């Protein structure tokens, strides 16, 4: 009987310790990764009991950020970049005043209400021909590289006039790999699908 009580007490202590330590650790890690190139971020993770997080299972992740920068050179959607978001049943990511490669992003949201739903992505941004021309000189592979190349060749070179970018897309995660289900929006007449995938992947990969 005494042994059973000791084991039960140890389990309770372990559960409490996990609840107190695991979510803050994961929140701090995500905040540090998001702000590695500057800006501010706050990450909140819900999971009861928190031991679920050790088995890639959580209730909700909420992310707020401002002034962040993400690099899109590798944001072509080939990796399992949605793995961290996928571990949560719900996701609510809202970032403002950030830069993503050559794009100045006023606001981007990534929201999922349940694990069976796709991620709803909304982007409000702009880009200049000057920034595109400079960025096109980098080694950008995949569909996003093709998008940048097409845009850079189709706009007035070195113009500082901002080109508006408004995108509304649904992205389904297939084992952590993003796939566009639907997209509404274009950049200078070119479908914004690759851009949506690149930005969503770059953000998700930092969590």
Residue 90: predicted pLDDT: 95
152-170: buried (b, 16+ CB within 10 Å) or exposed (e) per residue?
beebeeeeeeebebebebb
Mean pLDDT of 25-34: 92
Per-residue pLDDT for 75 more than 50?
A: no
Residue ranges of alpha helices (H) inside the chain are 2-34, 83-86, 129-136, 142-154, 193-204
Over residues 8-33, mean pLDDT: 74
CA distances from 100 to 17, 108, 166, 172 (A): 38, 11, 14, 21
- Indicate the pTM of the whole model: 0.84
Each residue's pLDDT tens digit, 92-118: 999 999 999 889 999 999 999 999 999
pLDDT surpasses 90 at 149? no
- Angle among Cα 175, 43, 15 to the nearest 5 degrees reads 80
Among 30, 95, 48, 43, CA closest to 69: 95
State mean pLDDT over 126-144.
74
Q: Is residue 131 very low, low, confident or very high in pLDDT (cuts 50, 70, 90)?
A: confident
Q: Is the pLDDT of residue 81 over 60?
A: yes
- Pairing, β 162-174 against β 119-128: antiparallel
Most confident of 46-60, 160-174, 178-192: 160-174
pLDDT in tens, 181-198: 999 987 777 778 888 888
pLDDT band at residue 161 under the 50/70/90 scheme: confident
Of the chain, the percentage scoring pLDDT greater than 90 comes to 41
- What sign does the CA torsion over 80, 41, 108, 164 have? negative
Please tell me the predicted confidence (pLDDT) of residue 77.
44
- Average pLDDT of the residues in 8-17: 59
Examine the pLDDT at 140 and tell me if it is beyond 80: no
């Amino acid at each position: 009987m005494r042994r059973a009580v000791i084991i039960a007490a140890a389990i309770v202590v372990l559960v409490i310790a996990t609840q107190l330590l695991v979510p803050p650790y994961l929140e701090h890690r995500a905040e540090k990764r998001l702000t590695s190139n500057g800006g501010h971020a706050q990450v909140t993770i819900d999971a009861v009991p928190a031991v679920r997080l050790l088995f890639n299972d959580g209730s909700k992740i909420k992310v707020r950020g401002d002034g962040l920068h993400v690099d899109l050179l590798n944001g072509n959607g080939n990796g399992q970049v949605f793995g961290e978001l996928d571990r949560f049943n719900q996701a609510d990511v809202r970032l403002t005043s950030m830069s993503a490669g050559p794009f100045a992003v006023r606001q981007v949201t990534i929201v999922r209400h349940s694990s069976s739903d796709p991620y709803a992505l909304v982007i409000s941004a702009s880009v200049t021909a000057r920034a595109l021309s400079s960025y096109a000189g980098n080694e950008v592979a995949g569909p996003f590289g093709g998008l940048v190349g097409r845009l850079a060749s189709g706009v007035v070179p070195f113009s500082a006039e901002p080109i508006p970018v408004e995108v509304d897309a649904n992205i389904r995660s297939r084992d952590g790999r993003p796939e566009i289900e639907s997209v509404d929006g274009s950049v200078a007449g070119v479908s914004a699908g690759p851009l949506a995938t690149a930005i969503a992947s770059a953000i998700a990969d930092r969590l």
